[in-house]
Amino acid sequence: MAQSEGRLGLAVKLDKIQPLQLKKFAESLGWVNQVSPAPFPIYILSHPDFKYRQLVFPDHIEAPDYLDAMDFSLRNLASLHQQDIETVYTRIMETSIP
């Protein structure tokens, strides 16, 4: 997958999204960070309205599957919250991180 085009043909740069931005944005929608049992650094978030769904993505941009994880997470957030993907991307990019 090219860095500027996701599987959905997004005209966004998925590699510009910082993991903490996605985490903070998801938390603003009611997602809750879970303790990760994985031996590698990832975020696992769940939502009380979506009991059988989780968002799972690396906590660092250098992870080998980072772009795929961002693409998958954005598509799921957009679908579950009934928003278009470009809006979700824009709102994530507007999320400030320390």
Q: What is the mean pLDDT of each run of 10 residues along the chain (98 residues)?
A: 46 79 96 85 95 93 90 94 92 86
- Residue 12 has what pLDDT? 57
**CA distances for 60 relative to 8, 21, 43, 47, 48, angstroms:** 23, 11, 10, 22, 26
Count of structural domains within the chain: 1
To the question of pTM greater than 0.85 for the whole model, the response is: no
Strand ranges (E), 1-98: 32-34, 42-47, 50-58
Torsion of CA 30, 57, 15, 78, to 10 degrees: -40
Residue 39 lies in a domain: yes
- Residue 1 has what pLDDT? 37
Residue 56 lies in a domain: yes
Residue 2 lies in a domain: no
- Residue 53 has what pLDDT? 95
User: By residue range, what is the domain housing residue 27?
Assistant: 14-93
- Residue 9 has what pLDDT? 53
Question: What pairing do the DSSP bridges indicate for beta strands 42-47 and 32-34?
Answer: antiparallel
- Residue 3 has what pLDDT? 41
